Amino acid sequence: MNIAQAQPEIYRAMRELNRTVEGAGLDPKLLELIKIRSSQLNHCAYCIDMHTKDARAIGETEQRLYALSAWHEAPFFTDRERAALALAEAVTVLTDGFVPDEVYAAAAEHFDEKELALVVWATTVINGWNRVAVATRMQPGEYVSHRTPA
């Protein structure tokens, strides 16, 4: 199914929400890491392909991209990035139906309230896209990034 053709108004609204989150001021590399990690957890090959290409286009390193699924053990991520990734994972997985207090508190140490809201929104939006891509069997491989280094 081509979901954009089947429901164009809803698709446009989702794209506008995505654009709003992307333009709200969160570091572009961190935003891509959140998108990739959530997509890994959701097994969304299309979004992993798209966002690793976008991350490379804005200067993210291969080393960090390869290590992202093991960010807990990899020394290549800052404490701020680790806090965002932990929150993104908790929002994506929602273990037992909630984000653990310690994960939220750790993120709040590195982000002000506005930035924290952006991390939550970014995770929410990519989770929505993951579900659309997986449900409609979007095929990875053909996406070409049009992003430029920040």
- Buried (b) or exposed (e) across 125-146, using 16+ Cβ within 10 A? bbbebbebbbeeebeeeebeee
pLDDT in tens, 29-55: 999 999 999 999 999 999 999 999 999
Closest CA to 90 of 73, 107, 74: 107
pLDDT for residue 96: 76
Instruction: Tell me the pLDDT band of 9, cut-offs 50, 70 and 90.
Output: very high
φ/ψ of residue 90, rounded to 5: -65, -40
Residues 6+ apart with CB under 8 A from 121: 21, 24
% residues pLDDT > 90 (the chain): 93
φ/ψ of residue 118, rounded to 5: -65, -40
CB 21 within 8 A of CB 122: yes
Would you call 16 exposed, middle or buried from its count of C-beta atoms within 10 A (0-12, 13-18, 19+)? exposed
Sole residue written with tokens 């990739």: 36
Hey, what CATH topology would domain 3-135 get?
A: AhpD-like (1.20.1290)
Instruction: Map out the domains of the chain as residue ranges.
Output: 3-135
Please say if the pLDDT value at position 95 is more than 90. no
The first and second tokens of residue 4, run together, are 């954009």
